Amino acid sequence: MVKVEINGQVIEAHEGDMLIDVADDAQIAIPRFCYHKKLTIAANCRMCLVEVEGAWKALPACATPVTDGMKVHTKSAKAIAAQKSVMEFLLINHPLDCPICDQGGECELQDVAMDYGDDVSRYTEAKRVVSDRDAGSLIKTDMTRCIHCTRCVRFGQEVAGMMELGATGRSEWMEIGTYIEKSITSEMSGNMIDLCPVGALTSKPFRYTARSWELKAHKSIAAHDSIGSHITIHTKGQDVKRVVPRENESINEVWLSDRDRFSYEGINCESRLTQPMIKKNGQWQETDWETALEFTVSGLQKVLNNSKEVGVLASATSTVEELHLLQKLARGIGVENIDYRHRQVDFSSDVAGFNAPSLKHSLADVEKLNGLLIVGSYLRKELPILNHRVRKAVQAGAKAFVLNPLEFDFNYKVSNAQSSNGMVFELAGIAKAICDIKGIDQAWLNDISASDEQKQIAQSLAEASNSSIMLGQIAQGHADFSVLQKLANIIAQATDSELNVLPLAANEVGAHLVNFLPTAGKNSSAMLSDGMKAFINMNVEPELDSVNGEAALVSLSNSEFNVNLTAFDSQTQREYADVMLPIATFAETAGTFVNANGLKQSFKMTVEPKGEAKAAWKVLRVLGNMFNVEGFDYTHSNEVLSEVLDNTTTELNLVELSCDLPTSNNDSSVQLVSPYQVDSVVRRSPSLQATPDADIKSMERG
């Protein structure tokens, strides 16, 4: 430790720490534009110039390491003069269009100029003008405002892993752009908006819809993947206007995926269901809640004489409270066909029990891995925040191996393990090689012969002191998912690695927690392929959310009575449903998500539900009372949460799981899912649907 004096205040710091970090920790303000704690030091804006005794000129605080006995002045005449000079130069070419700039009110340049700028400019020459670039449907560019801080450029290189923006030209003719006209396609591109200290990069969907001082901020949890990123929802009146990241170092740091940032558009879409609707004599009609609920109960009672022919489907984007009450209602009326796993094909392991998906490493510990095997996953698109942590591990020296039926572009160095025989046999070869190295007998692998490449992967995993195996969306949707789990578990146990079957939706772990599973009934695939007399669907569109949408639509159309608890109206739903009950979206209800690490995170309602829509847990509470099911006398969602106990389901011993190697390659059975088609809210975000990633084929390499 060294002692540094800043403005007369003595501070202890680690030798080599940058002066700006030491000052920030001591809550001593130093202006800056190019510096950001999550990016490398560029020292190109010079706004953080300070006086250091013994130095003949002012020094940039972001690039000056502290030494013992250093004396620094941030408010001296020399420091202020240097900072004012920098500000004068920055404003030479800036258009000074604050009244019409969408960044007005939250612009770093505007704030700093108030303290260090002059009210009169000495420059009379014409200002430069930079043409705007079309960066896609998410980011609006006004590059004449750019002050060349290069935060966006460094973000692309260091965080997104894609150098989509760069600098061309020199001096005042330097321009930040894409060089050739192209969209910014990173799944985390929206973070550039947060990083930009001026109005050069702004949110295209939010642009000109509100001023920052008109917005009210609400803390919440992201609803579209299992990471549980912390977010702030900004509202104006009763409308959600934008979503931005909320700092949480243990989860999403200061970043947010584009899916979580821009999905809010779906909340305000034209297809919102705002009034209960029932179908009578083939005709849809709007009605009041009492009539709709009575119609629902009456219709279900007609088919409940055979409760085995009633199916209950829900999305894992539903809250813990909603899933708990739905399964409690279903079981209370004798229905055991309950499931959320609509994109899964292989359920053969269910006979042995239910193995909850989870990420057994903390997100911070993922960065410390030195060996990684990713099986059946395009991690970049499935879980962008987790992928960012993996990228940092690879940059620190970890070896990453990827096994997929197709080759995808990862934003870090990976070794692709490919085999014409398919994922199962490739993984079996790695497992066989591991068993040979460790002297483990696995009789069912005796006919497998490991290739040299498989032996190299096995050797690398065996030598890694801290390794992980991750099974993603593609593996979970594979026809031989149980076999993939068993093989992965053999490798994990032999190499002392953690096996992570990655939860994808926001509340898959929560669904297991409340036992939203067919413990004594049919799974989702069986319900939708065999057909049922009635379905209760919550937050799910089976025709879009299941692995075989066409078969699901046929089953739904052939059933006698369907109840949809949904936030959205659609022509397809009108064709098969008999009741549509409008429910709140994630921003319009209070609830709890359980993230991939098992962390329960509750959030509050930010805006009132649209029209006559109600929180789903309230609708289910009333239905429970109308069916005379005991235990539905709740007055607050917290009472529902307190009823939910920790899941006591024992994890499967996957090594002993009875399954055999397939006789053929079933990779062709896998259906890829676009990251912007994962749930009903995301599907209705126009900006996300206008991106290349909305089409899954665009993500396949080649």
Q: Give residue 651's identity as a one-letter amino acid code.
A: E
Q: Is the pLDDT of residue 443 over 50?
A: yes
What pLDDT was estimated at residue 446? Answer: 86
Q: Say how far apart CA 518 and CA 659 lie, in whole Å.
A: 20
**Tens of pLDDT along 104-134?**
999 999 999 999 998 888 888 888 899 888 8
Q: Is the pLDDT of residue 311 over 90?
A: yes
565-597 in b/e form (b: 16+ CB < 10 A) is: bbbbbbeebeebbbbbbbbbbbbbbbbbbbbbb
pLDDT band at 652 (very low <50, low <70, confident <90, very high): low
pLDDT band at 172 (very low <50, low <70, confident <90, very high): confident
Q: Is the pLDDT of residue 670 over 90?
A: no
Q: Looking at residues 235-251, what average pLDDT do you find?
A: 96
566: left (phi over 0), alpha (psi -120 to 50) or beta: beta
**Record: fold of 2-90:** Ubiquitin-like (UB roll) (3.10.20)
Q: Which residue has the tokens 């022919």?
A: 309
What pLDDT was estimated at residue 655? Answer: 66
What pLDDT was estimated at residue 419? Answer: 66
What pLDDT was estimated at residue 657? Answer: 77
Mean confidence (pLDDT) of the chain: 93
**Tens of pLDDT along 504-538?**
999 999 999 999 999 999 999 999 998 899 999 99
Q: Is the pLDDT of residue 701 over 60?
A: no
Q: Is the pLDDT of residue 631 over 60?
A: yes
On the 0-12 / 13-18 / 19+ scale of CB atoms within 10 A, 655 is middle
Element (H, E) at 58: none
Q: Say how far apart CA 206 and CA 241 lie, in whole Å.
A: 7
Q: Give residue 346's identity as a one-letter amino acid code.
A: D
What pLDDT was estimated at residue 457? Answer: 94
Percent share of the chain, pLDDT over 90: 83
Which of 264-273, 493-502, 667-676 has the weakest average pLDDT?
667-676
Q: Say how far apart CA 680 and CA 344 lie, in whole Å.
A: 18
Q: Looking at residues 261-266, what average pLDDT do you find?
A: 97
Q: Looking at residues 31-60, what average pLDDT do you find?
A: 95
Is-contact 109 198, C-beta < 8 A? Answer: yes
> Which of 486, 489, 495, 424 lies closest to 459 in space, CA to CA?
495
Q: Would you report the helix, strand and coil content of the chain in percent, each value rounded to 5? A: 35, 15, 45
Query: Domain 363-502+662-671, CATH 3.30.450.40 — does that match?
Result: no
Handedness of CA 430, 432, 436, 438 (dihedral sign): positive
What pLDDT was estimated at residue 702? Answer: 38
Which overall architecture, per CATH, does domain 277-353+508-643 show? 3-Layer(aba) Sandwich (3.40)
**Domain residue spans in the chain?**
2-90, 277-353+508-643, 363-502+662-671
**Tens of pLDDT along 590-610?**
999 999 999 999 999 999 999
What pLDDT was estimated at residue 647? Answer: 56
Which of 36-45, 324-333, 352-361 has the weakest average pLDDT?
352-361
For residue 612, the Cα-to-chain-centroid distance in whole angstroms is 29
What pLDDT was estimated at residue 651? Answer: 63
**Tens of pLDDT along 405-418?**
988 999 999 998 76
Q: Say how far apart CA 285 and CA 280 lie, in whole Å.
A: 8
Which phi and psi angles does 667 have, rounded to 5°? -60, -30
pLDDT band at 431 (very low <50, low <70, confident <90, very high): very high
What pLDDT was estimated at residue 699? Answer: 65
Q: Say how far apart CA 276 and CA 273 lie, in whole Å.
A: 8
pLDDT band at 57 (very low <50, low <70, confident <90, very high): very high
**Tens of pLDDT along 182-220?**
789 899 999 999 999 999 999 999 999 999 999 999 999
What pLDDT was estimated at residue 444? Answer: 86
